[in-house]
Amino acid sequence: MTAPDSLPLHALVEDNLAAVSPDLLRAMVKTFADALMSAEADTLCNAEYGQVSDEPVNHRNGYRPREWDTRAGTVELSIPKLRQGSYFPQWLLERRRRAEQALISVVATAYLLGVSTRRVEKLAESLGVTQLSKPQVSAMAKHLDEQVAAFRNRPLDQGPYALVWVDALTQKVPEGGRIINAHVLIAVGVNADGNREILGLDVATAEDGAGWLAFLRSLLARGLSGVQLVMR
């Protein structure tokens, strides 16, 4: 059964990532939070980490660990230390709930569509961080994109996947100055340990036989095996 157009897809993927792959979600949130703090520390030092600046105003002095409790579990953050004074991300201290929601939302968006530099800038601004440079923003977006791509293309080696659910969600997206319908194909399976696992997700221009065939063949190419029942 196809879901209605009004279903917020990024929220659905966020919930599935939290329930099905909490380790992945925690890792991605940690990656983004650590990158954001590192970029802030670079700004305070007037130098990127590991590089020499002609006019440094401070220097890095290692890290201190801090646990951050989120809906995906406890995330082990690495907060940069400075030689002079101290640094602590105000967005983590004062806007804890808001920061968590923003980070998880951008992770879900990255899983679906990739994350653009503009999305990273908007995320940072929503947390009160306004001094990030363009190279820092680009590096953060690239790092998260690489992590998402690695997960989406990973080998499906936790099989056999006896039960597989497939579904398609219709979303309205902008393209060429107009709004069109995009069809998001998603597959969830039960692995050998009895746990649900997001097997794959793809965006198609039409929900037809060719689109489904290409999607399912991509799952087989990544190692999907042992399927006894497919449900939709």
Strands 229-231 and 163-175: parallel
Instruction: Compute the C-alpha angle 135/141/189, nearest 5°.
Output: 165
Bridge partners (DSSP) listed for residue 121: none
Q: How confident is the model at residue 1 (pLDDT cuts 50, 70, 90)?
A: very low
pTM of the prediction?
Answer: 0.63
Mean pLDDT over residues 22-44, rounded?
Answer: 80
Mean pLDDT over residues 28-51, rounded?
Answer: 78
Mean pLDDT over residues 201-212, rounded?
Answer: 84
Predicted confidence (pLDDT) per residue in 96-142, tens digit: 566 777 777 777 776 666 677 787 777 777 777 776 777 777 877 78
Mean pLDDT over residues 155-160, rounded?
Answer: 90
Whether the predicted pLDDT of 212 surpasses 80: yes
Predicted confidence (pLDDT) per residue in 49-92, tens digit: 656 666 667 788 888 898 888 777 788 888 998 888 888 887 77
Report the pLDDT value the prediction gives residue 125, as an integer from 0 to 100: 77
Name the residue among 165, 171, 179 with its Cα closest to residue 207. Answer: 171
Residue 76, SS3?
Answer: strand
